[in-house]
Structure 1
Amino acid sequence: MQKIFVLNGPNLNRLGKREPDVYGSKTLKDLEEKLVSSSKEWNCMIVCKQSNHEGDLIDWIHEAEDEGAIGIVINPGAFTHYSYAIRDAIAGVSIPAIEIHISNVHTREAFRHTSVISPVTRGQIVGFGFYGYEMAVRALLEN
């Protein structure tokens, strides 16, 4: 069975509480339950992980490749804008990654407009809320 890692970075554990006008009222648990439930329909296994620590995300990127995952869906949170370590980890594995953001980062504060991650990903999905994660998983399964 095909496996996809869904990695969420800093502060995403606060979904449902953090700026609900931007991120909505649903929680990270809601997102993970929806993806795992949908994975049966997609005939794949979804592995969900979240950390506020950069090194954890890097370890999981390596783990995804080592465990034979077909790809990674990653919302790096604020690490998007400055983590060359996460960028290099993605560049250093042979499986594709898709960068995801719940809000449209290009319509928000200027610092959010730049991603050091996107140049090494297959693509970037922004502004579609939780549905963006589904889009990313489907893209990995179909491409």
Structure 2
Amino acid sequence: MANRPDTARPVVYVLNGPNLNLLGTREPHIYGSETLDDIAGSLEDRAIELGLDVDVRQSNHEGHLIDWLHEASATGAAAVLLNAGAYTHTSVALYDAIKAISVPVIEVHLSNPHTREAFRHQSYVGMAAKATIAGLGSLSYLLALEAVPRL
């Protein structure tokens, strides 16, 4: 789902981790009925209004997310919105990658991990990210995008 943005505007990478390709059908009582494509469309529309471009990607593989964080830094991205899915709670490698780059990272979650299972209460991503927005469904992504020009 990697969208090729217009490089005349600052680019925001929107990186999505494991199982987020199943949005719309995966536990809609937790994650809602919108698909990742629906969320990407909303982000693309709002990004234009904000004078930004978004590059929305999803992978079930941790290494891809790390490579994309490095790429965001190397290309001078304005920011990264990162929903690392379950890697949020397990990946020291993502923590290290976020700490290694100068691009601001905003952690994003559809649900509120702190109201869920205890193992979801720790966030390695959140420990390294500039901010976290969670628990507001797809609005979490839009609010994170709204914050980018203020970073």
Aligned-pair distance for 1:89? Answer: 0.6
Structure 1 residue aligned with 2:30: 22
Aligned-pair distance for 1:59? Answer: 0.5
- Give yes or no for the alignment of 1:31 onto 2:11: no
List alignment gaps of at least 5 residues for structure 2: 1-8
- Give yes or no for the alignment of 1:121 onto 2:129: yes
1:1-50 Cα deviation digits (max 9, x unpaired): 21110000000000001000101111001001111111111110101000
Structure 1 residue aligned with 2:70: 62
Mapped partners of 2:41, 2:147: distance in 1: 19
Residue 117 of structure 1 aligns to a residue whose secondary structure is helix
Matches within 5 A, 1:36-55: 36-55=44-63
Mapped partners of 2:80, 2:68: distance in 1: 10
Q: TM-score, normalised by structure 1?
A: 0.97
Mapped partners of 1:71, 1:41: distance in 2: 17
| Counterpart residue type for residue 97 of structure 2 | A
- Give yes or no for the alignment of 1:106 onto 2:100: no
- Give yes or no for the alignment of 1:133 onto 2:141: yes
Q: Indicate conservation of the 8 Å contact 2:47/2:145, yes or no.
A: no
1:92-137 Cα deviation digits (max 9, x unpaired): 0011101011001111111111101111111111101111111111
Correspondent of 2:82 among 74, 83, 88: 74
- Would you say how many aligned residue pairs link Structure 1 and Structure 2? 143
Mapped partners of 2:16, 2:66: distance in 1: 12
Q: What is the root-mean-square deviation in Å for CA atoms of aligned residues?
A: 0.7
Q: TM-score, normalised by structure 2?
A: 0.92
Structure 2 residue aligned with 1:9: 17
Aligned-pair distance for 1:53? Answer: 0.2
Aligned-pair distance for 1:87? Answer: 0.8
Aligned-pair distance for 1:71? Answer: 0.8
Residue 17 of structure 1 aligns to a residue whose secondary structure is coil
